[in-house]
Amino acid sequence: MFISGIGIIFTRGRGIDCFENALTQGWIDPSWTDSFPAYRVTKETLSDTNLSKKIRRADKFSKMAALSAFDAYKDSGMTLNNNDEKLGIILSTAFGPHTTTFSFIDDILDYGDANVSPTKFSNSVHNAAASYISTMLDSRGPTITLADFSYPFQNALLLADSWLKEKRCNHVLCGCVDELSTVMEYACKIKLKAAEDGKIRPFMFSDFPVSVLGEGSVFFMLSEKRCKNNYAEVAEISFSWELKKNPDIIIIDADGMAGDETGYKNYSNKGLPITGYSPVFGSMMIGSAFNFAAACLIFKNQLVYRCPVSDNSSSVNSYFLTKEANVNEINCIRICGSEKISIINIKK
C-alpha cells in the first residue's frame, strides 16, 4: 500500500509544507488558557474561499477533516472525476464531533427537542465529516467513519488495505481528525498531567507522563500500486511487541495521552535510533497519523528531523540535530497502557 498524497491541518497551519517547516523549526510554546497549555487550530487556518460554499454549514471538526482530505487528494496529483466510484474514503477519530454533540444536548435541555437546530444535529453525527468530504469531491465510492480510543489510525489503515486488495477501490483517502473543546480540557485536567512548561517529553518513559493537548486532521491518499508522487510504502501493521527486523529509525507516539509509557523503554534499550514529534502538534489519540506523516517526509527528503524537545534523561539514541540520512525503513510505534501496542512498518 503506497502513500501518494498528504493533507494536514494542525496548530501551525495547513498543508504538508507547513508541517515540514514545523518539524524543521521544532518546539514552540503552546497557547495558554487559565494556566492550561494546548495547541489549537485557528479560524484563519480553516478559511478557504474556494471551498467555503461546499462546507459552509460544517463545524470545526468537519472543516478540519474536509480541508485536509482535499489537500491530500490535490497533493497526490489525481484528477477529480465526476461520479468517481473508485475512490474510497475512510475517516477515523477517537472522540468525534463532541463539541457539536454537547452543544446539541445543551440546546435540547434549554429549548426542548422540537426547537433545536437541525444543522447542529446533522453535524453532531460521527459520519458527517466523511459526508462533507464525499460531497466536496463528488465521490460515490465507499465511505465510512471509524471510532476507536486506542488505535483509530491503525484500524483505518487496515481497512484501507483490505479495500485496495479486494479491488473495491483504486485509491483510498484515509485519515484522522479530533478536536479540542472546553469539555475535553476539563476532562484532561482531571485525568492527565499537563506539562507545566508546555513541553511534551517523548523520552520520559513514565507511568504518568505529561501532556499538552492538540487538535487537527491528517489525510493520506493510498493506492495499491506505486504512484508518481510516492512518499513511501506501508509494508505491515502489527499488534506485536516484537520487532521483526531492526529499522533505521523508530518513531514513538509518546505524548502523555495514552497513559503508561514505560513500555517504550524496551525499544530504547536496543540502541536503535528513536525519535518522537508529538511536541510539534500536541497530545492526541490520533497522534499516530501525525508521526506517520513525519515518517513520510523523512523518506521523501532523506532528512531526519531533530527531536523537538531535547530532554534525554533516559539516554536515548536519538536525533537532536536535523541531518541528512539514508533511510529505507521506519517503524512507527504506539503503546496504549502497559499491554497494548501497534507497529506500522514503512519502507522507502
What is the distance between the alpha carbons of residues 283 and 302, in angstroms, rounded to a whole number? 26
Alpha carbon dihedral 90, 95, 97, 98, in 10-degree steps, equals: 170
What is the distance between the alpha carbons of residues 134 and 261, in angstroms, rounded to a whole number? 37
Q: Which domain holds residue 131?
A: 2-347
- Strand (E) or helix (H) holding 38: strand 36-39
What is residue 83's predicted lDDT score, i.e. its pLDDT? Answer: 52
Residue 162 CB partners (closer than 8 Å, separation 6+)? none
Length of the chain, in residues: 348
Q: Are 261 and 337 in contact (CB under 8 A)?
A: no
What is the distance between the alpha carbons of residues 161 and 146, in angstroms, rounded to a whole number? 15
Phi-psi region of 302 (alpha: psi -120 to 50; beta: other; left: phi over 0): left
CB hemisphere CA count around 228 (13 angstroms): 4
What is the distance between the alpha carbons of residues 213 and 184, in angstroms, rounded to a whole number? 9
What is the distance between the alpha carbons of residues 22 and 13, in angstroms, rounded to a whole number? 9
pTM of the model: 0.94
What is the distance between the alpha carbons of residues 42 and 51, in angstroms, rounded to a whole number? 17
What is residue 156's predicted lDDT score, i.e. its pLDDT? Answer: 97
Considering its fold, how many domains does the chain have in total?
1
Q: What is the CA radius of gyration of the chain?
A: 19
What is residue 279's predicted lDDT score, i.e. its pLDDT? Answer: 96
Query: Mean pLDDT by 10-residue block, N- to C-terminus, for the chain (348 residues)?
Result: 96 96 95 90 91 86 95 87 75 92 78 76 82 89 93 97 93 96 89 93 93 97 90 94 86 92 86 93 96 97 93 85 93 87 94
Cell of 319: 536525533
What is residue 84's predicted lDDT score, i.e. its pLDDT? Answer: 56
Cell of 155: 484500524
Where residue 73 sits, what CATH number does that domain have?
3.40.47.10
